[in-house]
């Protein structure tokens, strides 16, 4: 929470009660994604008059400054940043339980080496399968 507040201030965003409540809720989702609808429902339970626009705008701003990450294949899922010091990273996502594991290596050079003369402007990599726990349960 302290790091998130620091990032908000550094990026000239006001630290409001609504934003701190949103960050507090999102901080429970560092190893799995949460549906934006669940976030909306939670925030509306605290602030009944809060508009969708306000919630979506805050999530977008949080994404822009690195507080949250959207799932690449599904922009309706979001999770709290798992590594504030290394915003550029990739994930393994368990298709069974939804657990997200940060991948430390970035294979972009493998791809750019195959594209001489090309200009790569960005990339996102998510690997899908079953986590070790789910694999173990499946084999049991």
Q: Which residues are annotated as a binding site for Zn(2+)?
A: 94, 97, 131, 134
Binding residues: 88, 94, 97, 109, 123, 131, 134
- Parallel, antiparallel, or unpaired for β 90-94 and 126-129? parallel
| DSSP tally for the chain: helices H, then strands E | 6, 6
DSSP string for residues in 32-80: B-EEHHHHHHHHHHH-TT--HHHHHHHHHHHHHTTSEEEETTEEEEEEE
Binding residues for Fe cation: 88, 109, 123
Sheet holding 74-80, edge to edge: 34-35, 74-80, 68-71
């Amino acid at each position: 929470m302290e790091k998130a507040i620091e990032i908000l201030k550094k990026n000239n965003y006001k630290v409001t009660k609504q934003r701190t409540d949103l960050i507090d809720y999102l901080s429970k989702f560092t190893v799995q994604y949460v549906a934006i609808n669940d976030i909306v429902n939670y925030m509306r339970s605290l602030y009944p008059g809060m508009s969708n626009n306000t919630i979506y705008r805050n999530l977008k701003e949080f994404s822009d400054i690195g507080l949250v990450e959207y799932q690449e294949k599904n922009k309706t899922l979001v999770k709290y940043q798992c590594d504030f010091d290394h915003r550029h990273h990739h994930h393994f996502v368990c298709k069974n339980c939804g657990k997200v594991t940060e991948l430390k290596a970035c294979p972009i050079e493998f791809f750019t080496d195959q594209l001489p003369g090309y200009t790569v402007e960005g990339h996102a990599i998510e690997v899908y399968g079953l986590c070790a726990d789910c694999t173990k349960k499946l084999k049991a």
